[in-house]
A and B are shown apart, each in its own frame.
Chain A
Amino acid sequence: MADVRRTSAEWPDRTARRVAPTLAAAVEALANTHERGFTFVDTQGAERFYSFHALHAEALKRSYGLRRLGLKKGDRISLIVAESDDFVLTLLGAVLAGVVPVPIYPRLGFKASDGYVDTVAHITNAAGSAAIVTTEQQEPHVRDAVPRCPSVTQLIDMKMLSAAAEGEALPPVEISPDDIAFLQFTSGSTSLPKGVVVKHRNLAANCRAFMYEGLQANPQAGDKGISWLPLFHDMGLIGFVFGPLFTDIPVVFLPTSSFARSPRVWLEAAHRHRATLTYAPNFGYALAAKRLKDRDLQGLDLSCLRVAGCGAEPIQVGTLRAFADKLAPTGFKPEYLLPCYGMAEGTLAISFTKLTDAVHADRVAPDALQAGKATPAADGAPGNDIVCCGTVFEDHEVRIVDVNNPHAGNPLGERQVGQIITRGPSVCESYYQNPEASAESFKQGWLYTGDLGYLANGELYICGRLKDVIIVRGRNFYPQDIEWCVAQIEGTRRDNVVAFGITEDGEEKLVILAETSRMQAGALREEIPKRVLDEIGLQPFKVELVALGTLPKTSSGKPQRRKTKALWTSGQFVASTHGAAPNGAAADAQEISE
């Protein structure tokens, strides 16, 4: 039986560090720290330093502002702020007031606004937010959502908030570990958004685990974080705002857009600030390795780093090695790279590799893997490289259970592939006011991750996903949302569209199959990618238009995503595509349905 449980006794060298019981208490505990704090860099490169003392003082003022505007403990607010300093200060203000922040990504350029307003409305309604808090710049993009959100009584901008923040101090609000710290929506879903309920005790447990056990963070040793990760995403927000606040670690925040424009900005800032800790999803390392020229690295000394973590999407060992090779002249060492596994439902981090280990991939035989067994490939034989994601934290557990009969009490053995389940103090309990989705993922204290993996020598390896979620560049996309979006286009309809992800060149990509009549195929070929990019923000890799009646369906007429994917991957849909074999479509349809 493979059951990995860590106890304190197994971490003899671990300093018995504790953290504050709530995020509010962690922020208050930093009120007298003047020498360390957060540095916010804007898109022009200007830096603004807030000592933790100043951060606490400003957050406290904003908490008074929110309270004077009528917000009470337990109320939710949708928080849509692009500037990292205003975002962090307002979010912490809400936390100190006991108000539950719901971060929503700000509107990005080059997109039609309709899809964005839908996202804001859907998330705000799912959270039942009492107010939308935003900036003057974002307000025009958010305003149209307000009439569609019955719970929203105010649209608050930064000017209103700072006016309300002035005045006498208010008595503190009591925050307990069982109170909700914030709601983390895992996608800008158009159908049924799910907000993970993150309580203060989950946050405290996870931040303690990954900061102390995982990273062995120590302010006295000069640790300093640097991050360009978006703050409305769990890795950016929990990894670089909350974790460092619980453990007194200074951080430099760069705008995500600055990194996307020029990855050198990240490394240059890490060099200048002598940063020790950073993180990025796999695509961040790929983008940096691709865009950086050797001359970009001149004058950079990155030997200051000790951790360059990687998570939030499937990890490719080749990508990490290419990044390490590229950066070798800067003093960057391959062992800085630290693959991890986690998800919002587990607050953030679930497993970490050891700081001293180089990135390790397991080469397993592909045919055995398909049969559910991760047998190491023979020397010289082809194999799938699966990156090791390390071990779980103290007081947490991970098990692998049968995909068809997932039961925590009946775990699979060593190297057997199944669904990964986990439990422990970091694991959340539910999605906000969504009992149906909650019952699917959270059972008797266990989180059913929907990810496929196996354990070998107590270490966790991630093979893929059981759930149909498509992860591109660290963002989760639900096929239901994409299918819904496509089905709104004239010439397609509900239950006649299937979306799924495939892996191509080490990256996950979107494939859409839609049934349509041949007459409409021409226009749809252009309209579908455009609409999906506009509304979902994801560029389809392939759009296949197939004859009516070709997609495999369940007895109740719902499309069968996994079966469709299997047929498409094996090449069976190409022949039935409109235009490819105009006269063969019906025959192919027949063949597929048999």
Chain B
Amino acid sequence: MTRTELIGLFEKTATEIAERDIKGLSELTEISSLGIDSLGILELVGEMEKQLSIQLPDDQLVGLTKIGDLLDLVEKRRKLAS
């Protein structure tokens, strides 16, 4: 899965959780600008984990602010999983 595809998956999942259209995101988009609170973000993380069959540990989520940061972690964990 390419980074662009991952952003697509992120947008699709975020749209589902926020129950409104979320698109046009980039690596540099701040996660806090999405209008989803911390529990909603965890829901989103949980859904991404399920889709990608990986685990994103809580302690490694702390301090991630941009979508690109989260995707870096996703890629790191996917490599570990394979």
Contacts and interface: CB of A to CB of B under 8 A. Distances in A.
A571 to B, nearest CB: 22
A43 B58 contact: yes
B42 A261 contact: yes
Nearest to B39: A260
Nearest to A540: B35
B72 interface: no
B39 A530 contact: no
A260 B17 CA distance: 12
Interface in B40-82: 41-43, 45-47, 49-50, 55, 57-59, 61-65
B58 A538 contact: no
A260 B37 contact: no
A108 B62 contact: yes
A262 B46 contact: yes
Contacts of A291: 43
Interface stretch (A109-117, A158-166, A310-318): A109-117
Contact of A107 (B41, B46, B62): B62
Given A291-B43, A539-B37, A255 B58 contact: yes
Contact of A110 (B38, B43, B55): B38
A82 to B, nearest CB: 7
Contacts of B45: 261
B26 interface: no
A261 B32 CA distance: 18
A465 interface: no
Most buried by A among B36, B38, B59, B65: B38
Interface string A226-267: 000000000000000000000000000001010011100000
Contacts of B65: 110, 112
Contacts of A257: 42, 58
Interface residues of A, number: 30
A533 B30 CA distance: 12
Contacts of B63: 109, 113
A113 B32 CA distance: 13
Contact of B38 (A82, A109, A112, A530): A109
- From DSSP, what is the main secondary structure of chain B's interface residues? helix
A322 to B, nearest CB: 16
B59 A111 contact: no
From B32, B59, B64, B65, residue with most partner A Cβ within 10 Å: B32
Given A43-B57, A44-B55, A537-B38, A111 B32 contact: yes
A141 interface: yes
Contacts of B35: 529, 533, 539
A261 B46 contact: yes
A109 B37 contact: no
Nearest to B31: A110
Contacts, number: 70
A533 B39 contact: no
Interface in A34-54: 43-44
B2 interface: no
Interface residues of B, number: 26
Contacts of A109: 38, 41-42, 58, 61-64
Contacts of B31: 110
A260 B46 contact: yes
A110 B64 contact: yes
Contacts of B47: 261
Contacts of A261: 42-43, 45-47, 49
Given A260-B46, A261-B46, A141 B62 contact: yes
Contacts of A110: 31-32, 38, 41, 61, 64-65
Contacts of A108: 38, 62
Contacts of B49: 261
A287 B42 CA distance: 12
Interface string A179-223: 000000000000000000000000000000000000000000000
A588 to B, nearest CB: 28
Nearest to A505: B19
A261 B46 CA distance: 4
A283 B43 CA distance: 13
Most chain B beta-carbon neighbours within 10 Å: one of A109, A111, A112, A283? A109
Nearest to A258: B46
B33 A260 contact: no
A301 interface: no
Interface in A73-113: 82, 107-113
A82 B32 contact: no
Contact of B39 (A43, A107, A473): A473
Given A260-B43, A260-B46, A261-B46, A534 B58 contact: no
16 contacts: A44-B57, A108-B38, A108-B62, A109-B61, A110-B41, A111-B32, A112-B32, A257-B58, A260-B42, A261-B45, A287-B39, A530-B32, A530-B33, A533-B32, A537-B37, A539-B35
Given A108-B38, A255-B58, A533-B37, 8 more contacts: A82-B59, A109-B42, A110-B32, A111-B38, A260-B39, A260-B46, A526-B33, A537-B38
Interface of B: 30-33, 35-39, 41-43, 45-47, 49-50, 55, 57-59, 61-65
Closest 6 CB pairs of A and B: A261-B46, A109-B61, A260-B42, A110-B31, A260-B39, A262-B46
